[in-house]
Amino acid sequence: MTAAYQVPANRIIGAPSWFDSKYFDIDAISGAPNEGNATFDQNRLRLQSLLADRFNLTIHHETRQLPAYALVLVSPGKFGPHLQIDDEKCAPAPPTTTSAYPVKSDGGVSSLNCGDVSGRGSSNSTQYLGRAVTMDRFLAVLAGPPAEPNIERPIIDATGITQRIDFDLQFARFNGAATDASSATSFPSLSTALQDQLGLKLQSETGPVDVIVIDHVEEPTTN
């Protein structure tokens, strides 16, 4: 469900007890042979169809007041050394996917096309670079992929930044709530990296969050 609906597991409500304890194998082909490679959105919609067909899944969306983080500037009007407003000398390239999460790429920010984000990781660190990206895209990248988020809570943009930004953010890899992480590596925690590299910080608050509520779901029958 996290892949099909692009939300973290903690924003899926009403799952039965077997949801996190039983495992299922899927043997499927993504698209017909003459259709070429399927896009991110096509695969996401196919996963939703599979869940509805084989698990009889029905859902609805709700807005609930939940713990969240507000992203703010540490000092109003001042950015960190690895964050700047894009010079706007080039128009953002048309996206090849609507996925908010980064794609692999080599080189620094200047090597990226306008509107692109690069994500690279090692056993002990994660690095994100972006060129001419919107704040909405940056927040999605910062949160991380739904299946393995960098930050468990939803993030609300309270920076006041309306222009596209260039950024370079590197922090210690951590499996869990990265804002509370301490690492034995030479890389800073995510919260420290945000402040020192980008001049940003996360403040705890409660705010409106979109959640998925499971109305009905069944274990699938065998083929």
Q: Say how far residue 12 (Cα) sits from the centre of its chain.
A: 15
Q: For residue 60, is it within any domain? A: yes
Other C-beta atoms within 10 Å of 196: how many?
15
Q: For residue 45, is it within any domain? A: yes
Q: For residue 190, is it within any domain? A: yes
Question: Which backbone phi and psi does 165 adopt, to 5 degrees?
Answer: -125, 155
Domain that holds residue 101: 2-216
58-97: per-residue pLDDT in tens?
A: 999 999 999 999 999 999 999 999 999 997 666 555 544 4
Q: Which residue has the tokens 């609906």?
A: 5
Q: Which residue has the tokens 């969306």?
A: 61
Q: For residue 221, is it within any domain? A: no
Q: For residue 123, is it within any domain? A: yes
Task: Give the number of domains in the chain.
Answer: 1
Q: For residue 92, is it within any domain? A: yes
Cα distances from 79 to residues 150, 164, 184, in angstroms, run 22, 14, 27
Q: Cβ(85)–Cβ(165) under 8 Å?
A: yes
Whole-structure pTM value: 0.71
Question: Which backbone phi and psi does 214 adopt, to 5 degrees?
Answer: -80, 120
118-140: per-residue pLDDT in tens?
A: 988 887 889 999 999 999 999 98
How much is the CA Rg of the chain, to the nearest whole Å?
A: 19
Q: For residue 223, is it within any domain? A: no
